[in-house]
Structure 1
């Protein structure tokens, strides 16, 4: 049998825990957002994956046509729109090895919803058992959307295999969750600047 004193302590514990959860809910929701919000002074703004938000100025002269920064080491993609009023931060998959990694400046030259896929000659040499072609659909390694870059064979694309995100798991491309590439696809244009560092 519990006495009134114990019930009072349990009730206070329950109420304080509930209040803390309700008060923390907006902060938790904000952490999981990829939308940029200016940090409170003295506070470091991070998303759910603890990636650092970045300013575009150290990487680009301007954000004309939008700008994408792919950071291979942090496995993050940063996007700024034309007037830098929209900032997005996405977790990515990156190339498996340094020899598959290309760094430098390029741009989006084509956008494809429902891309098809064919292995590059180097991929086919490494993996002769791979098919020669996969059309759009759930088995396609490029996911639901792809941004083709001016570098041959390099893409920013979705993936059906969500285990790859956050890992060194690609053959040279930058991979995003399908819902993220769909959002980025809608934000970008042909001519969007891309920098891989």
Structure 2
């Protein structure tokens, strides 16, 4: 027997003793991509459900209901926002701000104020604005760049020290596209908002500023602000937070004195009537400043129309006497006013 045959026989004996070699393990299956709450196609074709009602907070002790935005409501809110009849923040749930925007749009377009979010309304809105309501956006290095600040709290001095920048890239993008953070994440599951280069699905909003505002009407009961031109045509409707029972907004007529973009906020106990201590505090400019990104100064001392660090609370909480809008609505309105524009509180 040759040496080569002996080696071959030894190999066979070894294999027989040790067993056949194990096959290479199969690669693990790829994880399924997370599914969005809604797709762009669903929203583009959506009609609000007839039974859709404003969301209500759960009773104490009850489980929090799952977030379930309606595609037709998202579409409707985007179309209202682009028509300058603002629903406030776009959340896909509807609510009082959306209901009031619908009523104002219907009245302005001779459709009657009593109808709801039906197919006829959407057809009329879409006829006036036929563009897609959804778009794609690629995250940039500027979007994810800081500095970011912690969420503002009730302690003004601490807010002044910590800063009033956005808390994250997610908050910055949600505000840019007039949408809640929850809906933006729901449209883009699995996206890391801290990494540039990713493609997002976003509302196709329009930030074109107003022009030619001659008169503003602040309705304290309805909690709204309306902007009119010289001919009395309604240019825009915005939900608003307007004063409180302890610190009501003014009554009667005042005028616009000027506009300050990116204002700081000064608490001066010698000039304001609400109590936040005896120390004068200057909070630096930033989107989460107490007056947001813009201040429209009024001829009544310490009163103005301004933005907000929390768009989801517009029309749902109180203010210290001023008129508070979302930052994007306040910026749009501010671009169209000039000193002397009449502001009437009713």
> Is the TM-score greater than 0.5?
yes
Across the two proteins, how many residue pairs are aligned to each other?
163
CA distance in 1 between counterparts of 2:245 and 2:259 reads: 26
Distance in 2 separating the partners of 1:23 and 1:133: 46
Where 1:128 maps in the other structure, the secondary structure is coil
The 1:137/1:75 distance shift into structure 2, 3 A limit, reads same
Query: 1:5-154 alignment to 2 at 5 Å?
Result: 22=45, 24=47, 28=76, 29-32=78-81, 33-35=83-85, 38-41=108-111, 43-44=112-113, 66-97=214-245, 99-121=247-269, 123=272, 126-128=275-277, 132-154=281-303
How well do the aligned residues superpose, as a CA RMSD in angstroms? 3.2
Q: Relative contact order (C-alpha < 8 Å, sep 6+): which is higher?
A: 1
Q: Unaligned 5+ residue runs, structure 2? A: 1-40, 48-71, 86-104, 118-211
Please report the TM-score for the alignment, with normalisation by the length of structure 2.
Answer: 0.41
Partner residue of 2:320 out of 171, 190, 195: 171
- Gaps of at least 5 residues in structure 1 are 1-17, 49-63
Out of 24-33 and 134-143, give the one that drifted further. 24-33
CA shift in 2, pair 1:172/1:78, >3 Å: same
| Equivalent-residue separation in structure 1 for 2:281 and 2:273 (angstroms) | 8
| TM-score, normalised via structure 1 length | 0.69
With over 3 angstroms needed to count, the CA separation of the structure-2 counterparts of 1:87 and 1:98, relative to structure 1, is farther
Q: Which is richer in strand? A: 1
State which structure, 1 or 2, has the greater radius of gyration over its C-alpha atoms: 2
